[in-house]
Amino acid sequence: MTKTPSTKIETSHSGRVPILPLDLAPVDDVKVNRSAVERRAATIPTRRTVKKEYQAAWLLQAAQTIDLTTLSGDDTPGTVKRLCAKARQPIRPQLLRDLGVEKPITTGAVCVYHGMVETAVEALHGSGIPVAAVSTGFPAGLVSFKQKIAEIEDSVKAGASEIDIVIPRQHVLTQNWRALYDEVRAFREACGDAHMKSILATGELGTLKNVMRASIVCMQAGSDFIKTSTGKEPTNATLPVSIVMVRAIRAYYEATGYKVGFKPAGGIRTAKQSLDWLILMKEELGEEWMRPNLFRIGASALLNDIERQLEHFAYGRYASMQYQALG
């Protein structure tokens, strides 16, 4: 779908994704066959399935990759504290024991607005679960550059160890790749030691080619993850968009040796959908990219359906939703 730069680094790097100089050669070389991408996406839910104990294991893995999220106008400290309690114990201990799972599991992170970062950090103290803050004028990104930088810095000071930034979509739509690179690079520098996830808002970028090009530029600018959506657009995470983004990640890894993570977000609500994305990661990038350090699912309601499916596997019946703790 895209040519990689001529210089290929064979070494695999385990450290932080670095900021690299802007290289427009792979951006200009991008070619995307939309029909082929859509055919590939259509095969993922049908060609490969996981059943019984394998499905249970995959669902437990999916639970551990979730960025458990609340980004509502009516968020309160109580809402966030409940969400953090669910992140600490996403699956009931008795159910885990009945599934033969000895060690406790947690979600990948908790994702909140800046104003709730301190509450989340306090609620998760000692758990090792990172707090991710959405930033840079989320979800539209239509605030001043100075405000964007200040918001990142304030969230980091408040204790966020991951920052989900939104890219300026106008730079993609006008093909101003230098401006996109410079802004995302500045965001990365403002993040300091906090990991940065760049939200492309793919539903607003117009074409799959734009998605691929924006992915490349954001990775060159030092993005630790690239993320599909804010969850606030009319179209959020889809399999065709995800295929384009993970293939950009693969090409970038093959060219540089640096591993960038991937986060689909928005509209992933069922356990079956989470399996589709895990299958995508396994087939396109390999098992390493199925783990929380390189793969996250941004979701709020997904965890409840995963727990229901695990209960069905363990007990042969579905529990009523009223018996499940809600974030």
CB-based contact 134:123 (threshold 8 Å): no
**Whether the Cβ atoms of residue 219 and residue 252 lie closer than 8 Å to each other:** yes
Q: Cis check for the bond before 139: say yes or no (omega within 30 of 0).
A: yes
Parallel/antiparallel/unpaired status of strands 109-112 and 261-263:
unpaired
d(CA 204, CA 232): 11
**Catalytic choice (197, 227, 259, 305):** 227
Strands (E), 162-320: 162-166, 195-199, 225-227, 261-263, 297-299
Active site residue 98: no
d(C-alpha 103, C-alpha 2), whole Å: 42
d(CA 215, CA 211): 6
**Cα angle value 65/71/72 (rounded, 5°):** 145
Q: In DSSP terms, which residues pair with 196 in a beta bridge?
A: 163
- Which is the catalytic residue, given 67, 164, 276, 305? 164
CB-based contacts of 236: which residues, under 8 Å, 6+ apart? 203, 228, 229, 230, 265, 266, 267
Is residue 193 annotated as a catalytic residue, yes or no? Answer: no
Q: Sign of dihedral through CA atoms 32, 34, 37, 39?
A: negative
| Active-site hit among 224, 263, 276, 305 | 263
For the question of residue 263 being annotated catalytic, the response is: yes
Cα 320 from chain centre: 29
State how far the Cα of 219 lies from the Cα of 105, in Å rounded to an integer.
Answer: 30
Which residues form the catalytic set? 164, 227, 263
